[in-house]
Amino acid sequence: MKTSPLAKNHRAAHRAAFWATRACGVFLLGLLAACRSTPPAAPAGPPPQAAYVVLGAGGAATARAIVTTAACPALRVDGTLAPMGLRAAAGTAAQRSGQGKASDFPVRVCEAALPAGAAAASIDGQPLPRVPAQVQRIVVLGDTGCRIKQAEQAYQDCSSASAWPLAAVAAAAAQERPDLVVHVGDYHYRESLCPPDQVCAGSPWGYGWDAWDADLFVPARTLMGAAPWVVTRGNHESCSRAGQGWFRFLDTGPYEPQRSCDAVADDAAADYTPPYAVPLGDHWQLIVFDSARATRSLDRQRPADAQTYDRYSAQMRSVAQLAAAPGMHSIFVSHHPVLGFAIDSGGHLQLGTGALLQTLRDTNGPRYFPAGVDLSLHGHVHNFQAIDFLSDHPATLVAGHGGDKLDRDIPAQIDATYPSAAGVRVHFIAHANRFGYLVLERAGAAWDVRARAVDGALLAHCTLNAAHLDCPQAGALSLPTPPAN
């Protein structure tokens, strides 16, 4: 049978296609084999010691990485790589008076701005927390480091999860799935060499990287990966203490020699940071205030106290301007409580921090806080407090129970008024002296406030509405004794 020319053409086409496909297959197999035999690219270097996000003025988000490599890593944002810049170089800072040793920082701190609305970001494969457009849930903690202070003969067992539970506190707080973490100050407490016969023997100490890493970055790693942080400066981060690490690792402003705490001559500038606002969305904001120098009442006859008064007075006027934004509700955040309670060395209950009371009263009058402030949020006192007032003063929360040695609890009986804070009348105090954290969650126009212990136990459940607290659930509630006629 004779084959038609058309059939011959079809068979020729099929043969050509077959051999072409086979040739491609051989080529692809060879290419795959070549790829498999090629050694993988060498890693860029060890992963970052820490990777985290801090929020500054206006809610500007900054990605930070602490590295031991010679170069800064790249920041990947929504699939695009961008170089990170050097914030602070490795080195040993000049030893300051009062330091037991010079602060050694054998790490580099790198940073880069995170663009608003970024869906995903990472550094060397480590994912960074997403910055939400509107904050619904906030975790609050403070006073978190492990106390080693020879002058006080205070030696906390930093290796004990019960004596110093920051890692467990951070892990439990991360499980709350917060949109934002607010730390109310005092991150670093390992100030002195621990004697060999004490429970903290062998702990890193001083103000360098090893103590910062042990006190914050290692135990709080889970929480730093869970959400961006708003960082408040405490008195332990003043220039005379851990300020050198504060400016390298946490402060949200530019790192500059004059604002590094390396030179005592620059402390007059470095110990005061201008207040700034962090928007939370839906007409709420945080106003962050640096109270690192508010350690005592101010005697304006002393030049140093006069300087603090002048600086704080100017900054309180800035706070009032931030709070005056139309329709805005503000949460004032400082380390030292303006109207929180503490028990002094003589066992007496005291209300407020003198340096802040003086400057706030002189700036804003008897309410202390400017209009628009619905809540003040603090640490410094190592317990939990939720305070409501009968007088026209915004509610107060104290969250200084994050890990450092706890203070004495608030007594069951308290006075209704206090001479140190004229015009202040206390309604009640819900309180606890167990380690833990706070959760603030939006509930319409109000905020739901839960104080949690490290084991998850509910210490108190309150609602903040119109600058007042209602705490239907509280393990301990102190009511004031009516003033004598």
State the CATH number of the domain containing residue 230: 3.60.21.10
Residue 8 domain-assigned?
Answer: no
Residue 391 domain-assigned?
Answer: yes
Q: How confident is the model at residue 483 (pLDDT cuts 50, 70, 90)?
A: low
Which residue bears the tokens 């640096």?
Answer: 290
Residue 393 domain-assigned?
Answer: yes
Residue 46 CB-half CA count within 13 A? 10
Tell the burial category of 302 from Cβ atoms under 10 Å away from its Cβ (0-12, 13-18, 19+). Answer: exposed
Counted domains in the chain: 1
Mean pLDDT is lowest, of 33-47, 203-217, 351-365, for 33-47
Going by the DSSP 8-state scheme, the letter that residue 57 receives in this structure is: G
Mean pLDDT value across residues 74-94: 96
pLDDT digits (tens, 9 = 90+) for 237-295: 999 999 999 999 999 999 999 999 999 999 999 999 999 999 999 999 999 999 999 98
pLDDT surpassing 70 at residue 179: yes
pLDDT of residue 44: 56
pLDDT surpassing 50 at residue 29: no
Q: What is the largest CA-CA distance in the chain?
A: 129
Q: How confident is the model at residue 296 (pLDDT cuts 50, 70, 90)?
A: confident
Q: What is the pTM of this model?
A: 0.90
Mean pLDDT value across residues 228-237: 98
**Domain hosting residue 112, numbered range:** 50-481
Identity of the amino acid at 192: S
Residue 446 domain-assigned?
Answer: yes
In the predicted model, what is the mean pLDDT of the chain? 90
pLDDT of residue 345: 80
Calculate what percentage of the chain has a pLDDT beyond 70. 90
pLDDT digits (tens, 9 = 90+) for 112-141: 999 999 999 999 999 999 999 999 999 999
pLDDT of residue 15: 44
Mean pLDDT value across residues 23-40: 36
Mean pLDDT value across residues 204-210: 98
Q: For the chain, what's the residue count?
A: 485
Residue 19 domain-assigned?
Answer: no
Q: How confident is the model at residue 48 (pLDDT cuts 50, 70, 90)?
A: very high
Residue 247 domain-assigned?
Answer: yes
pLDDT surpassing 70 at residue 402: yes
Tokens of 36: 């498999």
Q: How far is CA 234 from CA 187, 230, 307, in A?
A: 8, 13, 19
E strands present in 45-204:
50-55, 61-67, 74-77, 80-83, 85-88, 91-92, 104-105, 108-114, 121-123, 126-127, 137-141, 148-149, 154-155, 180-183
Residue 105 domain-assigned?
Answer: yes
Residue 31 domain-assigned?
Answer: no
Q: How confident is the model at residue 348 (pLDDT cuts 50, 70, 90)?
A: confident
pLDDT digits (tens, 9 = 90+) for 414-457: 888 887 898 999 999 999 999 999 999 999 999 999 999 999 99
Give just the sign of the alpha carbon dihedral 355, 357, 362, 364.
positive
